[in-house]
């Protein structure tokens, strides 16, 4: 069966703890995809969504601790992305409680897109952070070194 997300080194952020969580989230998303694809039923899908939600809570806690302990800008301002993910997962759980208990492949694709954008946003923020000069350094512009006053 095709996996929804194929993990590769291109998805690594360089922060081992975060990379482990991202890889676990991808694995759980693949597990949910397989449950839907193989029509394993509402119970199996519910368990997969709940595991995915639990892992996401843990992941965001780790990111928050990194922001608090190191001021790591790569994870700051993540509340919107978190809210979007939990909204999607909670919606899936609610639909499984009602008569419309199926999870669509479109819904799975939206989760995949969310995860890949989340991983890339961490990389983008880290790249910007790396390019930002330290306060004592100057910025070279047209051969001139500009320093903060």
Q: Please tell me the predicted confidence (pLDDT) of residue 138.
A: 53
Query: Which residues lie across from 66 on neighbouring strands?
Result: none
Structure tokens that stand for 136 in this block: 């004592």
What mean pLDDT, rounded, does the chain reach? 79
Higher pLDDT, 26 or 127: 26
Domains annotated on the chain, with CATH: 9-146 (1.20.120.50)
Kindly indicate the confidence band of residue 149, based on its pLDDT and cuts at 50, 70 and 90: very low
Listed residue (2, 9, 48, 43) closest to 29, CA to CA? 48
Share of the chain above pLDDT 70, in %: 73
pLDDT confidence band for 102 (50 / 70 / 90):
confident
Q: Tens digit of pLDDT for each residue in 4-49?
A: 999 999 999 888 888 999 999 999 999 999 998 898 888 899 999 9
Average pLDDT for 87-106 = 83
**Dist. CA 52–CA 92, nearest whole Å:** 12
Indicate the burial class of 23 (C-beta count within 10 angstroms; 0-12, 13-18, 19 or more): middle
Work out the widest C-alpha separation in the chain, in whole angstroms. Answer: 67
The pLDDT of residue 101? 65
pLDDT tops 90 at residue 135: no
| Rounded CA separation 69/122 (Å) | 17
Token pair for 129: 């952070």
Contact (CB, 8 A) for 92 and 55: no
Best CA proximity match to 32, nearest among 114, 98, 99, 121? 114
> Within a 10 A sphere around the Cβ of 66, how many other Cβ atoms?
17
SS3 141: strand
What pLDDT sits at residue 77?
Answer: 54
According to the model, what pLDDT value does residue 22 have? 93
Q: How confident is the model at residue 128 (pLDDT cuts 50, 70, 90)?
A: very low
Dihedral sign for Cα atoms in the order 38, 41, 47, 51: positive
């Amino acid at each position: 069966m095709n996996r929804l997300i194929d993990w590769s080194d291109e998805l690594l952020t360089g922060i081992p703890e975060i990379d482990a969580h991202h890889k676990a989230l991808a694995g759980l998303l693949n597990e949910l995809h397989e449950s839907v694809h193989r029509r394993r039923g509402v119970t199996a899908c519910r368990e997969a969504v709940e595991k995915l939600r639990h892992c996401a809570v843990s992941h965001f806690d780790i990111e928050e601790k990194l922001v608090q302990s190191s001021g790591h800008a790569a994870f700051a301002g993540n509340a919107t992305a978190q809210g979007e993910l939990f909204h999607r997962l909670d919606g899936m759980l609610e639909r499984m409680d009602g008569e419309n208990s199926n999870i669509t492949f479109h819904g799975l694709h939206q989760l995949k897109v969310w995860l890949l954008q989340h991983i890339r946003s961490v990389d983008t923020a880290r790249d910007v952070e790396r390019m930002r000069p330290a306060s004592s350094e100057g910025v070279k512009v047209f051969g001139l070194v500009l320093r903060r006053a």
